[in-house]
Structure 1
Amino acid sequence: MKRILALSLFPTAAFAHPGGHFDQPFLDGILHPFSGADHLLAMVAVGLWATVSGGRAVWAMPLSFVLALLTGGMMGASGLALPLVEPMILASILLLGTATALALCPALPVSLLGVAAFGLAHGFAHGAEGPAQGMALYALGFVAASACLHGLGLGLGLALTSRVIRFLGGATAVAGLALAFA
């Protein structure tokens, strides 16, 4: 938690768009979701909220995010425009964290639509920052890393008590607020 707070104090560390050399597209794709607190927090929060929601949401929420992530990545790589990408990424941290903290469980289609919208924005950011050559390997890398981060959230959600999970959701939302003012 101290690392998340420390990252939130440095604006250049807050957003995952440092630019890369892309000499190894697959590795760069894997590293991209870890290069900024915004992507890291949101992707773990998807897994946490999925465990709070339970049932089919445990697999459907991460899958929805990853499929939308891939779609957004293709959009970003192709140069299509998607307005409000950074505000959507920030909103994903705040809302996913809040939903987890409050143990909100709307109807599954509503949850999936929200998670997919956030996945689209995150994917667009990944794709827009991707390499001109090797985009397929880069996309495979960021999809794999994102799925692993969802898995981390799911693992934490399954291993921890409800109270701790909800605390982590609240901490995620607070970190999102810190990023908003960084």
Structure 2
Amino acid sequence: MRSIRPLLAAGLVVASGSALAHPGHEAMSLAAGFAHPFGGVDHLLAMLAVGLYAARQNGAARWALPVGFVLTMLAAAGVAQAGFALPVVEAGIAASVLVLGLMIAAMARLPLAASLPLVMSFALFHGAAHVAEKGDAGLLAYAAGFGAASALLHLAGWLVARRVPETSAGRRTQQIAGFALAGAGALLFA
């Protein structure tokens, strides 16, 4: 009997996937939302860039920028789901990667009153794009998924940036990363 238990457990795990495969199922919507920021290089780079930029800021900006981004992105998703279309979404996403890359390369430290609205404006485009690409997924679970994934990517960028030393080599590394992001953003416009 004990030798059958692992096989039975494996069979149940495999069979459970077909039960979750129906459109609109909350678990699948959550998984699809979570996977979305990882599946597109534009979203992936923008999320990492927010974390990289926030980590080099002072005070409350270190946490306010990523939190503001995620909350604005979720709000924009709700507005987009309600039928309000945001124009030039793809250009806004490309601009987010380009501008954040340039800010990282320049080692810019804007006041929170300037950087937070800028980051939040980029989040509007990302939220609208997520909804446009959600298909049949349920909005709440899908939004929870892409919100969690975005926060995780912000944290990854933040942790990487915090590990770079405040030396001349560290500053060069930051500039190279920023210019690479800006270059990717420019390519996204093409």
Alignment pair present for 1:175 and 2:184 = yes
Determine the structure 2 residue equivalent to 1:127: 131
Determine the structure 2 residue equivalent to 1:33: 37
Runs of 4+ in 1 over 6 A off after TM superposition: none
More displaced 10-residue stretch of structure 1: 157-166 or 61-70: 157-166
Helix, strand or coil at the partner of 1:103: coil
Helix, strand or coil at the partner of 2:73: helix
Cα contact 2:69–2:123 (8 A) shared by 1: yes
Instruction: Letter of the 1:165 partner, please give it.
Output: Q
- How far apart are 1:132 and its partner, in Å? 4.1
Determine the structure 1 residue equivalent to 2:3: none
Determine the structure 2 residue equivalent to 1:66: 70
Instruction: Letter of the 2:46 partner, please give it.
Output: A
- How far apart are 1:35 and its partner, in Å? 1.3
2:172 aligns with one of 163, 168, 175: 163
Within a 5 Å distance, the mapping from 1:98-109 to structure 2 comes to: 98-109=102-113
Distance in 1, matches of 2:50 and 2:36, equals: 17
Distance in 2, matches of 1:133 and 1:116, equals: 25
Alignment pair present for 1:150 and 2:159 = no
Aligned residues: 161
Instruction: Letter of the 1:173 partner, please give it.
Output: A
Determine the structure 2 residue equivalent to 1:80: 84
Structure 1 stretches of 5 or more lacking a match?
1-20
Cα contact 2:56–2:162 (8 A) shared by 1: no
Q: Structure 1-normalised TM-score?
A: 0.83
- How far apart are 1:40 and its partner, in Å? 0.5
Helix, strand or coil at the partner of 1:53: coil
Distance in 2, matches of 1:162 and 1:69, equals: 30
Cα contact 2:32–2:137 (8 A) shared by 1: no
Kindly provide the CA deviation profile for residues 141-171 of structure 1, in whole angstroms up to 9, marking residues without a partner as x. Answer: 0000000010011001101133322221111
